[in-house]
Amino acid sequence: MSDISERRRALIERFRASASVRLGKVTLALVEMQSGAGTHPPSERSQAILRELHTIKGEAKMLDFAPLSETVHAVEERLLATLASSPGAEATEGSEAGVTAVLDAVAVATRWLRGELGEGPVAAEALTHARESLRAPPGITQRPTAGRDVDGAPARRPDGVEADPKERSGPVALGARWVSVNAQQVDGLCELISEFETGFRSLDFKLRGGTWSGGGQAAARERRDLAFDFERCLAQLDDITAWAWGLRLAPLEPLLAELVAHARTLATAQDKRLRVRVDGGRVQIERSILDALSEPLLHLVRNAVDHGIEAPNERGEKGDATLVIHAEASGPNVLLTIEDDGRGIDLDKVRAAAVARGLTNPEGAAALLPRDVLALLFVHGFSTRSEVTDVSGRGVGLDVVRARVEAVGGAVSLTSDFGRGTRFELTVPTTISKERNVVIEAADGLYAIPSRHVSGLLRLRDETIEHAPSGDAVMLNGDRIALHSLLETLGLPSEEDEPVAMVLEVGPPALAFAVPKLVGEFSLLRRPIDAIVARASLIAASSTFEDGRLVLILSLPALVRQRRGRTRSRPVEAAPSTRKTVLVIDDSVIVRDLLTQVLGHAGLQVRVAADGRSGLAAIVNDRPDVVVLDVDMPAMDGFAVLAELGSAPGRPPVIMLTTRASAEDQRKAAALGASAYVVKGQFDEATLLDAVFRLTTARRLSA
């Protein structure tokens, strides 16, 4: 009996996942119908919608989900009536109301499938209300019942969170993660595996049970045949790997449908007349990237509807508002656009806010270019608004949007025309888990840059370099391109020569980075990084070579952003006696490299030690001004280092930097003499630098 129940539970989960995808397709098709956009003929699009609805209705009925089946049937009837009243391509007022009613009901059904409407009477009431709305006379829209929102669901705040979180459990929890895969892809993968198995077994037979010649030409021929079979197996394995990774691609369609539904719900709740135009549902992207983009895109849609689009009485002759959601494939990338025709961004207001926050003075604010003014909106917590609604705030949270997009190797840009609207463009890779990278060796470390950003390589000895007080530049195809030192940008020792330059394209204009040594181009498997590194600006991920060497994958948007307006130059080093020295003791090479970069950019001299014992020796020999110390290290941990230092006169102040966040560990560190305690998961460059400079200043004053 339990086996049957388990099978039914899996079947229901599969139905809920697949039906949600089908309703997403229906939503996008209905939006195309409403806006008159799209590439499919109206009759073909209508038939596709009805097919999806018919399938859902039948499956729901077979699984005894009668309320859902009846609701979908009501959707079919209202849609057929709407199509009959407007047989041509031109929509009428009645057909507009009909499509709107159908979209509202589809949104309720989708939320029911996801378990967002509660369970029992609560969910049933929402579906009943949706059916009643569909059966209302054409042109009449029923208002939500008391305690319900515009979708007939439990009353929610404008940000989409139910008033009573206890009602979120739903009739069946969505446990397993189901994905739709083209059967031909599975068949193709199976055929490749079969070919590989045959070749591999043949190779295994020759190695284990074959008859070998003693020597001479026959033995040489056998070795050549064996090498050929081995190379063939490797090629087949590469094909299998590529095909299997291809299965990770997923359509954008469900996410676009969710954005449409979210925008319509918010607009209705705020009595704003909104048309949504969407295009790009056929674009595919790696599922992990899709998951990471969901929240940032929802945030941008909330911003557009809540703050970008004006209330009807403020729009004047502009009429109904329009929100455009567009996606298109562009080489190895996908370009996503969220554009509204609302009020736009007042640059003068942003400048004034920057002055009020102390980010610049009035003269500096006035000199900022428009793109630099808009870039301020991505600063953490920056906003031009004195009030923030429950839904969103233009500028509030854009730092998170950028961080999430750049974490998957993408970039985000913002343009706005005051009084006319705002446009966000997100450029993200189609796939990220495994992609081609150009690997560079610098200061005994390996760094990688995704190949999709590299537009050219230059031998600097063959190029004409322009020297100017502001820095260097190189001419390429008649264009002057700023030239930077990668070593300097990463905060690494710059004694090495940098004979090669990489031209990088991460939004206009292009930039060139001089590098010490190109190792080559490789397919790298991207791995997540330490929490402290994840918050850093220049390192996006890590990978490893076959020989085990670590490769740090750079964040190109952050790298370029750091160098914008700063060209390659020969900085004048401060006298060694005036520069404070920081000793970093940590067993993680990534953390050591990161802190070297962060502290070096702040004008500090940095020394490193890979464990507690060598760290103690460095404290005695180098006499640093401040020590940054990890806790969890082999052989001798950070607490043991603190205990060994004791309260000796002249001991440097110690900042603990660790993953341990408990109050007990913090008390122990304080008892052993630590001057500050920073948790890696909450790492912030400004906090660390503030602690370093505060402690070095206090030590100088007390000396």
**Any idea what the CATH number is for the domain that residue 303 is in?**
3.30.565.10
Are 493 and 554 found together in one domain?
yes
Strands of 231-374, DSSP E? 249-251, 274-279, 284-286, 321-330, 333-340
pLDDT for the residue numbered 565: 45
Are 19 and 142 found together in one domain?
yes
Residue at a domain's end among 413, 429, 445: 429
Read off the pLDDT of each residue in 15-41 and give the average, rounded to a whole number: 77
> Higher confidence at residue 525 or residue 532?
525
Residue 630 placed within a domain: yes
> Higher confidence at residue 471 or residue 374?
374
Are 125 and 138 found together in one domain?
yes
pLDDT above 70 (res 343): yes
pLDDT for the residue numbered 76: 85
pLDDT bucket at 36, cuts 50 / 70 / 90: low
Poorest-confidence range of 648-652, 673-677, 684-688?
684-688
Read off the pLDDT of each residue in 409-433 and give the average, rounded to a whole number: 88
596-645 pLDDT, tens per residue? 877 877 778 888 888 888 888 888 888 889 999 988 887 788 899 888 88
Instruction: Kindly calculate the radius of gyration of the chain based on its CA atoms and give it in whole angstroms.
Output: 30
Q: Which residue has the tokens 């954008």?
A: 252
Number of domains in the chain: 5
- Label residues 195-217 b or e (16+ Cβ within 10 Å = b): ebeebbeebeebeeeeeeeeeee
* H/E stretch holding 268: helix 253-269
Are 374 and 260 found together in one domain?
yes
Alpha helices in 151-215, H assignment, sequence order: 183-208
- Label residues 674-687 b or e (16+ Cβ within 10 Å = b): bbbbbbbeebebee
pLDDT for the residue numbered 153: 40
Residue 367 placed within a domain: yes
pLDDT for the residue numbered 135: 77
Are 417 and 475 found together in one domain?
no
Give the C-alpha separation, 692 to 688, whole Å: 6
pLDDT for the residue numbered 423: 94
Query: In the chain, pLDDT over 70 holds for what percent of residues?
Result: 80
Read off the pLDDT of each residue in 359-381 and give the average, rounded to a whole number: 83
Residue 663 placed within a domain: yes
| CATH code of residue 605 | 3.40.50.2300
Long-range CB contacts for residues 592-596, cutoff 8 Å, separation at least 24: 593/445, 593/539, 593/552, 594/532, 594/533, 594/536, 594/539, 595/628, 595/657, 595/688, 596/491, 596/492
Are 88 and 69 found together in one domain?
yes
Strands 321-330 and 539-544, sheet pairing: unpaired
Which residue range is the domain that position 107 belongs to?
2-155
Poorest-confidence range of 223-227, 428-432, 434-438?
223-227
pTM beyond cutoff 0.75: no
| CATH code of residue 88 | 1.20.120.160
Read off the pLDDT of each residue in 331-360 and give the average, rounded to a whole number: 88
Residue 172 placed within a domain: no
Q: In terms of Cα–Cα distance, which of 448, 701, 491 is closest to 595?
A: 491
pLDDT for the residue numbered 568: 41
pLDDT bucket at 459, cuts 50 / 70 / 90: confident
Read off the pLDDT of each residue in 406-412 and give the average, rounded to a whole number: 82
| CATH code of residue 498 | 2.40.50.180
Give the C-alpha separation, 677 to 691, whole Å: 9
Give the C-alpha separation, 118 to 543, whole Å: 43
647-668 pLDDT, tens per residue? 666 788 999 888 777 888 888 8
* H/E stretch holding 414: strand 411-417
- For residues 563 and 484, is the Cβ–Cβ distance under 8 A? yes
pLDDT for the residue numbered 371: 85
Tabulate helix, strand, coil % of the chain (nearest 5): 50, 20, 30
The CA dihedral of 103, 109, 111, 112, to the nearest 10 degrees, is 170
Residue at a domain's end among 536, 563, 590: 563
pLDDT above 90 (res 116): no
pLDDT for the residue numbered 340: 93
- Label residues 481-515 b or e (16+ Cβ within 10 Å = b): bbbbbbbbbbbbebebebebbbbbebbeebbbbbb
pLDDT above 90 (res 337): yes
Task: Return mean pLDDT, the chain.
Answer: 77
pLDDT above 50 (res 144): no
Are 227 and 328 found together in one domain?
no
pLDDT for the residue numbered 626: 92
pLDDT for the residue numbered 86: 64
Poorest-confidence range of 156-170, 350-364, 494-508, 527-541?
156-170
Phi, psi (degrees; rounded to nearest 5) at 520: 145, -175
Are 109 and 16 found together in one domain?
yes
Are 529 and 581 found together in one domain?
no
* Upper half-sphere CA count for residue 433 (Cβ side, 13 Å): 15
Are 673 and 603 found together in one domain?
yes
pLDDT above 90 (res 4): no
Q: Is 317 helix (H, G, I), strand (E, B) or coil?
A: helix
Residue at a domain's end among 137, 155, 173: 155
Read off the pLDDT of each residue in 465-490 and give the average, rounded to a whole number: 82
Residue 356 placed within a domain: yes
pLDDT bucket at 384, cuts 50 / 70 / 90: low
Are 394 and 479 found together in one domain?
no
Q: Which residue has the tokens 């991207």?
A: 526
192-236 pLDDT, tens per residue? 888 888 878 878 777 776 555 556 677 777 778 788 888 888 888
Residue 399 placed within a domain: yes
pLDDT bucket at 90, cuts 50 / 70 / 90: very low
Q: In terms of Cα–Cα distance, which of 479, 486, 490 is closest to 501?
A: 486
Residue 639 placed within a domain: yes
pLDDT bucket at 421, cuts 50 / 70 / 90: very high
- For residues 116 and 153, is the Cβ–Cβ distance under 8 A? yes
Residue 422 placed within a domain: yes
- For residues 305 and 267, is the Cβ–Cβ distance under 8 A? yes
Q: In terms of Cα–Cα distance, which of 478, 465, 479 is closest to 567?
A: 465
pLDDT for the residue numbered 578: 58
pLDDT for the residue numbered 207: 76
Query: In the chain, pLDDT over 90 holds for what percent of residues?
Result: 8
Poorest-confidence range of 135-139, 267-271, 538-542?
135-139
pLDDT for the residue numbered 323: 93
Are 463 and 601 found together in one domain?
no
